[in-house]
Amino acid sequence: MKILLIGGTGIISTAVSRTMLEKGHELWLINRGTHNDVLPAGAHFIIGDINDTDAMKSALKGHYFDCVADFTVLKPEQINRDYQLFAGITKQYIFISSASAYQKPLSCYEITESTPLYNPYWDYAQNKISCENELMDLYRRTGFPITIIRPSHTYDEYNVPLCITGWKGCYSVVKRIREERPVIIPGDGTSLWTLTHNSDFARAFLGIAGNPHALGEAVNITSDEVMTWNQIYKTIADELQVPLHPFYVSSLFLHQAGPYDFKSCLLGERVQTAVFKNDKLKRLVPGFQAAVPFRNGISTTLQNLISDPQLQVEDPIFDSWCDSIISTLTQAAATVKSAFPTCI
């Protein structure tokens, strides 16, 4: 199969690139020529800016693909750009949407592909919904051979999946856990969440790519393993062989206490229950089953993080912010309690 990926160097797309090559497919990538060092040997490159439509049309001349997948589209106008570029030169166009597009809050805790798309909290999710609407309209009007994939929280062997972090990533939180310092968990940590290893996503993607039964369909790709955030953080602490010291804080308070915009990603996604039904995926890809339990996947991720100093990016601003939140709320609780002594 000849497949073209736009992007190819993110958490999800790197695993897809690697898997496609391992299975002997002909892989082409469009990017600006950066981060090529993270890709395995054997890929073919079209170097350039996909937003330069005329240059891209020239670069794509003579190509015909079994599948084109765009991992970079964030806004509806980019859908029209891709339609102009790829209509007529591919058997299938895959759009990577997001499970954040699903209804918030849910009317039913189990999420299927027919769950309504509605997220008033997050511009990112609203744009993904608009992109999906554009694509379905093109499919109905022109027959543009689209497939929509909706991944949820996907992680890899270098990035620890957490409910909140600062701008510099996961290491600051992992360091707090290792040092047995309090770690902020939004809400009370009991909402249900689904984490998917990128290698599992890639195997499922390979079964969707070039699959004629997937045309015109939206498909969830997630693990079937469901955990609470308390269980996720406890698993991380267990792998680090230290006790967990959670400190629970309202999502709205975290947002109000800035400088981080936590309202979008928390209320718009991560503190909402996310239990996915993957029946359609398993029907389209017979025999598929996510193979990497979180305990196994996070063990490798933590080993890589702890052994590689280049991955250990300090975030003193986020760290100090966490300490300030914890100290302030602890003092506030003590003050209120002293003002209202226990009455028997």
For 51-86, write each residue's pLDDT tens digit: 999 999 999 999 999 999 999 999 999 999 999 999
Asked whether 59 and 32 are in contact (CB, 8 A), the reply is no
Q: What distance in Å separates the CA atoms of residue 151 and residue 205, rounded to the nearest whole number?
A: 10
Q: Is residue 8's pLDDT more than 90?
A: no
Q: Is residue 35's pLDDT more than 60?
A: no
The CA-CA-CA angle for residues 340, 343, 344, to 5°, reads 165
Q: Span 119-141, mean pLDDT?
A: 97
β-sheet with 26-31: strand ranges across: 44-47, 26-31, 2-6, 67-70, 93-96, 146-151, 218-221
Residue with tokens 């979180």: 294
Q: How many CA atoms lie within 13 A of 264 on its CB side?
A: 8
Q: Span 242-257, mean pLDDT?
A: 95
pTM over 0.85: yes
Domain ranges of the chain: 92-327
Average pLDDT of the chain is 94
The CATH class that applies to domain 92-327 reads alpha beta
Q: Span 327-341, mean pLDDT?
A: 93
Q: Span 297-317, mean pLDDT?
A: 97
Q: Span 16-30, mean pLDDT?
A: 94
For 73-82, write each residue's pLDDT tens digit: 999 999 999 9
For 167-190, write each residue's pLDDT tens digit: 999 999 999 999 999 999 999 999
Residues 6 or more apart whose Cβ sits within 8 Å of residue 54: none
Q: Cβ of 192: how many Cβ atoms within 10 Å?
A: 14
